Amino acid sequence: MTMKILVTGGFGLVGQAIQSIKHMYENYTFIFISSKDCDLTNMTQTQELFENVKPDYVIHLAAFVGGLFKNIKYKVEMYEKNILINHNILKCCHDYKVKKVVSCLSTCIFPDKTTYPINETMLHDSPPHNSNDCYAYAKRMLEIQSKAYQQQYGDNFICVIPTNIYGEYDNFSLDDGHVIPALIHKCYNAKKNKEKFVICGTGKPLRQFIYSKDLARLMMWSLLEYKEKDSIILSVGEKDEVTIKQVGIEIAKQFNYEHMIEFDKSYPDGQFKKTADNSKLMNLNNKFLFTKIEDGIKLTIDWFIKHYDECRK
């Protein structure tokens, strides 16, 4: 009998990426769920899900998420919904004796005032940036809760910390999307309407971006091969860090629209940098090759144009 892997948030950006590589893991049966299948903020529904599926493993991706401006506007929802989701999932994983859980955090939850590059040991050193503090604290509590289950019950509950993710099946909303998908949609509209491609802020902030299918492969590696109990950063290296301006230019280049870029400096930039140290990952998985950002952006834009009518936007 094959082992069952339950993937929460299974139809989001990373969940869809795992779906695209599941054929590589023939000895496992994958069950992908979305908020349409189960309201994970509801304990009764979550228990019913676990009773029906009886998973051996869980990859926990489900979260209430958004870009910079959504984090600022909906602080209460960011905190409460994520706390409920994470509590219910881990409690059920314990109660139903799941063999291993890999929960997804984010580098955006690290301290605002810190030294760089940040590593796994620095997560709780000081407060996160105030622009996403409620989301960040809820996610930090997911790591605290995972470690509590490890220490009290010996449960194999770990957390991975990816950097900024992008790729096919992203949320391309102009209001709530993260930077790459939102800029892709914005540039698409600007070219269609023959308008300026306006990027909010100065374009100076630095970010590390990971292509969703790279992260999917690393999530499966974390589930099946990573043996430690401590959290691990899943990210490209510091040398692959790019500015928002570079990202905007690359997107415009793919649309052949570079001459129409403009930066609106009246908008806030958010945190200037969040450089993550991926040396732990590279020491354990040193043969892993990341997709170059220009290639990942091209694949994402091609998918967005092809699926414009039905994609999230």
Name the residue ranges covered by the structural domains of the chain: 3-166+209-238
**pLDDT of 68:** 67
**pLDDT of 99:** 98
* pLDDT tens string 55-100: 999 999 999 876 666 777 788 988 999 999 999 999 999 999 999 9
Range of lowest pLDDT (145-159, 171-185, 274-288) = 171-185
For the chain, the farthest-separated pair of C-alpha atoms sits apart, in whole angstroms, at 60
Q: Please give the residue that has the higher pLDDT: either 132 or 151.
A: 151
Which secondary structure element, helix H or strand E, spans residue 32, and what is its range?
strand 28-32
- Return the number of other C-beta atoms located less than 10 Å from residue 56's C-beta: 18
* pLDDT tens string 259-285: 989 998 888 877 788 889 999 999 999
CATH class of the domain defined by 3-166+209-238? alpha beta
Question: Taking the C-alpha atoms of 164, 170, 173 and 177 in order, what is their torsion angle to the nearest 10 degrees?
Answer: -10
Total-model pTM: 0.91
Statement: residue 126 has pLDDT above 70 = yes
CB–CB of 170/178 below 8 Å? yes
**pLDDT of 160:** 97
Q: Please give the residue that has the higher pLDDT: either 288 or 177.
A: 288
Three-class SS of residue 20?
helix
Catalytic sites, residue numbers: 135
- Give the single-character DSSP code of 312: -
DSSP E strands in the chain: the ranges are 3-8, 28-32, 57-60, 100-104, 157-162, 164-166, 197-200, 206-207, 209-211, 232-234, 242-243, 261-264
- pLDDT band for 221, please (50, 70, 90 cuts): very high
DSSP E strands in 117-174: the ranges are 157-162, 164-166
